[in-house]
Amino acid sequence: MRMPEYCLSTRPILGRVVTLLACAAVLGAAPLWAQTAPQRYNVVELQAEAQREVPNDLMVALLFVEETNANPAVLAAAINRSVAEALKIAREFASVKVRTGNNQTSPVYAPRSNQLQGWRARAELRLESRDFAAGSALIGKLQATMQLGGVSFSVSPEARKAVENELIAEAIAAFRGRAEIAQKALGGRSFKVQRINLGSGLAGPPPRLMMQARGAADAAVSAAAAPPAEGGASTLSVNVSGAVEVE
């Protein structure tokens, strides 16, 4: 490659050094400019999916206690006592994980005068278990003093990961099967995968069992009657998208 004319000019030493460095950069980059991306022909965009229905093995329930009192100290003591009693009962169920949820206190104002009447407090407990019978029995006991916000069922993270690993292989096999169909349709001898992307998710929302909240008086009568718990199943899916070049 011929050196540009300005690179051969006579300048002071410092100026010539700077100029030569700039010229070297230009000459070194020139071959990169000359390079062009290889032409791609018969590029086909494809998508494939693999699904599997998996039994839900995880039960999650939310219970809460809510009270109102004009004295915030009395209110806090009552809420803390209810939560402590619930946690004591929950210790009898080793297969059920229990943790406290959101606790909040808010003022209550009179509707007309807008003056402060008292305080309302709410405390939550979150139950999590793979033993549906034990979880249901605990819910039944806790409903004597707490209200049930809802119950949901899902696939546990461990089970989901194991199934998705199997679905990845199935989805890629389906992707290659579609690539072979495209190859034959285009009259090619083979194909080359240019890129491939993987994604996973749930096909539809997980089952959720909503239960009507009961007051403490009603719940005390039927606390031994545990709510039914049918976990159902969730559909896990793995999606594959990408491009192949038919040769």
Residue 227 contacts residue 139 (beta carbons within 8 Å)? yes
> What are the angstrom distances between the C-alpha of 149 and each of 7, 124, 211?
79, 9, 7
Bigger pLDDT: 216 or 231? 231
**For residue 210, is pLDDT > 50?**
no
DSSP 205: P
Higher pLDDT, 18 or 198: 198
Q: Which of 47, 45, 36, 49 lies closest to 194, judged by CA? A: 45
Q: Provide the H-helix boundaries in the chain.
A: 13-34, 72-90, 132-142, 157-186, 216-221
DSSP bridge partners of 98: 127
In this structure, which amino acid lies at residue 125?
L
With 90 as the cut, is the pLDDT of residue 86 above it?
yes
What pLDDT, in 10s, does the model give residues 7-38?
A: 544 445 444 444 444 444 444 544 544 456 56
Per-residue pLDDT averaged across 47-54, rounded? 95
CATH match of 58-153+208-232 with 1.10.3470: no
Enter the pTM of the model.
Answer: 0.69
Residue 5 has a pLDDT of 52
- Alpha carbons 66 and 125: distance in angstroms, whole number: 12
Residue 192 is predicted with a pLDDT of 93
The answer to whether residue 66 scores a pLDDT higher than 70 is: yes
Q: Domain locations in the chain? A: 5-34, 58-153+208-232
Q: What distance in Å separates the CA atoms of residue 130 and residue 148, rounded to the nearest whole number?
A: 19
* pLDDT computed for residue 10 by the predictor: 47
Q: Bridge-partner residues for 100, per DSSP?
A: 125
The one-character DSSP state at 218 is H
Least confident of 19-23, 135-139, 148-152: 19-23
Q: Mean pLDDT for the chain?
A: 82
> Given a cut of 50, is residue 222 above it in pLDDT?
no
